[in-house]
């Protein structure tokens, strides 16, 4: 079976100073957490729609720019002198229709790669989803190199983004890493009896932050697909390649709530 990653013949060179990282969807739950905890690691450029609740909060973490993914010219300008694009913006509704998903998840994702290529960005990290492979069910061990198997059109849109990652890595020399992010949940939310996301797919904020940082800092990969889950003791999603290739070392287990669980 084909590998889910491609190593570069020559690693990227180390950089002096901070990398400039552009984050789309920076006022969302994942984006704002990443920005808050990465502000001292990177020179952050934070893209927002402008109407999100956390826009004012994230101004302390980096440059905040209002832009829409449909504005290719505007987004291309945002990519200027950027090393890595962390593309988190999307329509996240698993029950969304094709017409609803098309502007952000298809056209918008395409625009991200076009802009990154035009400005010479080194890498795009694409926020894929466990929904790209969720149709396998809970009885099969799923690895990163297994064929995509989406359960809904939202998952289909994430498969499209993964394919763009590979195309741009192979044909346009833009390194691409796709992360199949599971359920992004704090331990407080896991204690909520109304929470219905299976614990087997959970990734905590600090584990996802670590995974994203390792993807930004990696110098060897031209392309990869990784599955983004915490160190959950009962799971059918294999994360061994992320451990091996990135040094990902998740510290949380969604089936065990630690005493310092307010994270």
Residue 80: burial class (beta carbons within 10 Å; 0-12, 13-18, 19+): middle
pTM of the predicted model as reported, rounded to 2 decimal places: 0.95
Q: Given the structure tokens 């905040």, which residue do they identify?
A: 64
Q: What is the pLDDT of residue 119?
A: 98
| 78: in domain | yes
The two tokens of residue 109 are 């994702």
Instruction: Average pLDDT across each block of 10 residues of the chain; the chain has 263 residues. List them in order.
Output: 89 94 97 97 96 94 96 97 98 96 98 98 98 90 94 97 98 98 86 78 95 98 97 93 97 80 52
The CATH number for 25's domain is 3.40.50.720
The pLDDT of residue 190 is 76
Boundaries of domain holding 205: 18-246
**262 domain residue, yes or no:** no
Looking at the 3D structure of the chain, how many domains does it have?
1
Q: Where are the alpha helices (DSSP H) in the chain?
A: 29-38, 55-58, 72-78, 98-101, 109-118, 153-171, 187-190, 205-217, 240-246
What's residue 154's pLDDT?
98
| Alpha-carbon dihedral angle through residues 84, 226, 199, 191, given to the nearest 10 degrees | -20
Any domain includes 225: yes
177: in domain: yes
Place of tokens 């060897």: 220
**For the stretch 38-48, what's the b/e string if a residue is b when 16 or more beta carbons lie within 10 angstroms of its beta carbon?**
beeebbbbbbb
Domain-located, residue 5: no
Residue 170 located in a structural domain:
yes
HSE on the CB side for 263, CA within 13 Å? 17
Task: Mention every residue, 6+ apart, whose C-beta is less than 8 A from residue 21.
Answer: 38, 42, 43, 44, 45, 82, 83, 84, 85, 86, 216
Tokens of 127: 């926020």
DSSP class of 104: I
7 within a domain of the structure (yes/no): no
Tell whether 85 is covered by a domain.
Answer: yes
Here the tokens at position 140 are 């099969």
Active site residues: 154
Q: Is 54 helix (H, G, I), strand (E, B) or coil?
A: coil
């Amino acid at each position: 079976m084909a590998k889910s990653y491609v190593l570069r013949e020559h690693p990227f060179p180390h950089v002096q100073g901070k990398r400039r990282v552009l984050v789309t969807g920076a006022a969302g739950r994942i984006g704002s957490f990443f920005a808050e905890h990465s502000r001292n690691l990177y020179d952050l450029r934070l893209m927002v729609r402008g109407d999100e609740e956390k826009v004012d909060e994230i101004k302390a973490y980096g440059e905040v720019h209002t832009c829409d993914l449909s504005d290719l010219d505007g987004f291309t300008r945002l990519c200027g002198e950027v090393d890595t694009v962390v593309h988190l913006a999307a329509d996240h509704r698993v029950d969304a229709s094709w017409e609803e998903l098309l502007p952000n998840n298809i056209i918008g994702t395409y625009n991200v790669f076009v802009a990154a290529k035009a400005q010479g960005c080194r890498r795009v990290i694409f926020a894929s989803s466990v929904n790209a492979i969720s149709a396998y069910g809970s009885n099969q061990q799923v690895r990163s190199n297994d064929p995509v198997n989406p359960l809904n059109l939202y998952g289909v849109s994430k498969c499209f983004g993964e394919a763009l990652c590979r195309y741009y890595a192979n044909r346009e020399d833009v390194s691409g890493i796709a992360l199949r992010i599971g359920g992004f949940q704090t331990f407080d939310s896991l204690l909520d009896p109304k929470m219905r996301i299976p614990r087997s797919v959970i990734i905590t904020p600090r584990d996802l932050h670590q995974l994203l940082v390792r993807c930004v800092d990696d110098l060897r990969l031209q392309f990869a697909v990784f599955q983004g889950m915490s160190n959950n003791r009962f799971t059918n999603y294999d994360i061994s390649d992320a451990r091996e290739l990135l040094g990902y070392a998740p510290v949380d287990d969604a089936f065990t709530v630690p005493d310092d669980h307010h994270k």
